[in-house]
Amino acid sequence: MFYILGIDTGGTYTDGVLIETLSKKVWRKAKALTTKENLITGIDNCIESLGIKDVSEIELVCISTTLATNAVVEDRGCNTGLISLGKEVSEILPTQEYYFVNGLFNIQGKLECELDEDGVREAFAHMKDKVDALVISGYASVRNPEHELRAKSIIRELSNISVVCAHEIVGNLGYYKRTVTALLNAGLIPIIEELIADIKHVLEKREILAPLMIVKGDGNFMTAKSAMEKPIDTILSGPAASIMGAMHLCDIKDATVIDIGGTTSDIALIENGSVNINHDGAVIGGWRTHVRAADIYTVGIGGDSRLRIGDHDELTFGPDKATPVSLFLNNENVEETLIRKTDDVINGNAGATSGFTPTDLAHVIGLCNQWNGKASSVAVDAIRYRLHDDRETCIDQIEKAFLGTIKSALDDSRKIKEGIPIIAIGAPSHAWMPRMEQKYNFTIMVPEHADVANAIGASVGRIEEIIEILIREDRITGKYIGFLGIKREEFLTLEEAKKTCVSEGKRIVKERAMEANCADYELLEDVEDVYLDSYGGEESFYIETRIRIVAAGRPDCINE
């Protein structure tokens, strides 16, 4: 038999699965604590726990990771510089090194101002000793990228610094978001390069020679090489993998998915067998981007959310996380020490990283026995003494606070629809979601292997290459302009424009699919002519033609 090794590095746990290729059934699964200071340690521990007997049977390794998301949120990454062309960017940018240079194409891709090549050289001279990577972003560069490409060529003549053109990262209009996306991407390159190098080292050490794929934010695969060139696409990789895992486990076309993790819960909507995509672009660390990613609502509540007691004895969970008391005191055997330390944790006097969590509550009411349940039980006593409640009432109030927070998150997400079920995944889901179903009259499905759905989702994705092309008429010349992102081309007739653009689009996605190790792909095309009716509807005016071409399939190395 042959297997796919899927791994997901979450905020608390790193999950791993072996999926049998033909049946797509889970053969083995394992968890290891995520080692945030060095993710590769947790990944290595997880692979070890899987107990793989014959590594030659592994034909693909797939990884989903929160690393890129966390790096943006925490403002980590290399120092990047920006040279903007044509129009200045007035909004706040994720860089301190920014220079403007003249050189403008308009929105139709026509030249309005020649590129100031000396200005490019001067801007680079000012920042070359201050940055590790450089982004060149031109106004309307997706309509005509000539200036960006020429500026990149000039920098290449002067230095071997990493240079990224914004149109190479994003094919959408929206100058500011395109610039931000390109800057964030450049900053992430060394971080993802290091992660992938470490993963390959671990795989080689274990003699796992299978190809490596990385999960993108829309749930599809990209090669390790592509991830190092365009790491921004791995944003929200972990939550996207979870949704894919839920779809695979339940084989259902319409559902709300909630993934309850240790730190956060992610909520998404599946409709017609597909993950809803955020067409406005993902928002990461306060930056609105053009990143194609699943439309996910994230809230700071999970199995390791800290319980807080308010001034009026109200109970709340999150958004900050804590090491569960049961884990923090897992090796304590002395009753007096246990009581003293537990009381300190509950009152915040010591062990600031620890606190009472839903995981502790699960130990108390018999839903979990993973750690030191006695510590959790003593912690409940400390809480009830403070609240002046009897033990049963205290436990009931704590559970009510936690389940109420989950209910509020589902309501606030606006992803609950009448008549469709909720699929609950994540390690805490088996314990808590049946109780949610009973309390709030939801229809909830908790599939087998829900605790490792994210790693399963990382294993069952596919490769999907997309190109979107726009055709518009030049009202002055009467010609039709095809905008293919990487170039601009003029045509005498609309039919000629559509025929050529569709053909060129197919060539591009086929080439990209082959580069992504997907030779057996399905090719889909959608051509839409957009017209505007005149007042009264007596005649219609041509506005534009939108072309979307997709090449999709599973990686070649999988024997299905």
Q: What is the pLDDT of residue 322?
A: 86
In order of 81, 148, 186, 384, the CA distances from 125 in angstroms are: 12, 18, 19, 66
Q: What is the pLDDT of residue 370?
A: 87
Confidence bin at 340 (pLDDT 50/70/90): low
Kindly tell me if the per-residue pLDDT of 559 is higher than 60. Answer: no
The two beta strands, 111-113 and 133-138, are: unpaired
Q: What is the pLDDT of residue 13?
A: 84
Rounded distance between C-alpha atoms, residue 27 and residue 13, angstroms? 19
Nearest 10 degrees: CA dihedral of 262, 266, 267, 273?
A: -110
Is the CB of residue 195 less than 8 Å from the CB of residue 7?
no
Q: What is the pLDDT of residue 152?
A: 96
Token pair for residue 312?
């009026």
Q: What is the pLDDT of residue 193?
A: 92
Distant-in-sequence, close-in-space partners of 182: CB < 8 Å, separation ≥ 6? 135, 137, 164, 165, 166, 169, 170
What sign has the CA pseudo-torsion 539, 544, 545, 546?
negative
Confidence bin at 38 (pLDDT 50/70/90): confident
**Span of 110-119, 347-356, 460-469, 498-507 with lowest mean pLDDT:** 347-356
**What are the start-end ranges of the H helices in 139-269?**
146-158, 166-169, 175-205, 224-229, 237-250
Does 361 or 22 have the greater pLDDT score? 361
Is the CB of residue 231 less than 8 Å from the CB of residue 188?
yes
Token pair for residue 196?
């992938």
Rounded distance between C-alpha atoms, residue 365 and residue 378, angstroms? 13
Is the CB of residue 60 less than 8 Å from the CB of residue 559?
no
Q: What is the pLDDT of residue 349?
A: 47
Kindly tell me if the per-residue pLDDT of 335 is higher than 60. Answer: no
Q: What is the pLDDT of residues 222-244, one digit of tens each?
A: 999 999 999 999 988 988 999 99
Q: What is the pLDDT of residue 130?
A: 94
Q: What is the pLDDT of residues 162-204, one digit of tens each?
A: 999 999 998 888 999 999 999 999 999 999 999 999 999 999 9
Q: What is the pLDDT of residue 77?
A: 82
Q: What percent of the chain has pLDDT over 90?
A: 62
In order of 3, 64, 227, 557, the CA distances from 47 in angstroms are: 13, 14, 22, 21
Confidence bin at 334 (pLDDT 50/70/90): very low
Question: Average pLDDT, stretch 10-32?
Answer: 90
**Span of 227-231, 345-349, 554-558 with lowest mean pLDDT:** 345-349
Token pair for residue 266?
């992610």
Give me Rg for the CA atoms of the chain. Answer: 26
Q: What is the pLDDT of residues 367-426, one digit of tens each?
A: 988 888 888 888 898 888 888 889 999 999 999 999 999 999 999 999 999 899 999 999
Q: What is the pLDDT of residue 102?
A: 97
Q: What is the pLDDT of residue 351?
A: 47
Q: What is the pLDDT of residues 103-115, one digit of tens each?
A: 999 988 899 999 9
Confidence bin at 350 (pLDDT 50/70/90): very low
Question: Average pLDDT, stretch 531-539?
Answer: 75
- Closest C-alpha to 426, from 516, 348, 524, 358: 358
Is the CB of residue 67 less than 8 Å from the CB of residue 9?
yes
Question: Average pLDDT, stretch 32-57?
Answer: 90
Average pLDDT, the chain: 89
Strand stretches in 304-380, DSSP E:
305-309, 315-321, 323-324, 354-355
Question: Average pLDDT, stretch 147-161?
Answer: 95
Strand stretches in 322-433, DSSP E:
323-324, 354-355, 422-425
Ranked by mean pLDDT, the top range of 133-142, 349-358, 377-386 is: 133-142
Does 472 or 263 have the greater pLDDT score? 472
Q: What is the pLDDT of residue 271?
A: 92
Kindly tell me if the per-residue pLDDT of 264 is higher than 90. Answer: no
Q: What is the pLDDT of residue 300?
A: 87
Is the CB of residue 137 less than 8 Å from the CB of residue 175?
yes
Question: Average pLDDT, stretch 260-279?
Answer: 88
Token pair for residue 119?
């200005």
| Stated pTM of the model | 0.84
Kindly tell me if the per-residue pLDDT of 83 is higher than 50. Answer: yes
- Closest C-alpha to 324, from 381, 397, 263: 263
- Closest C-alpha to 296, from 243, 247, 348, 245: 243
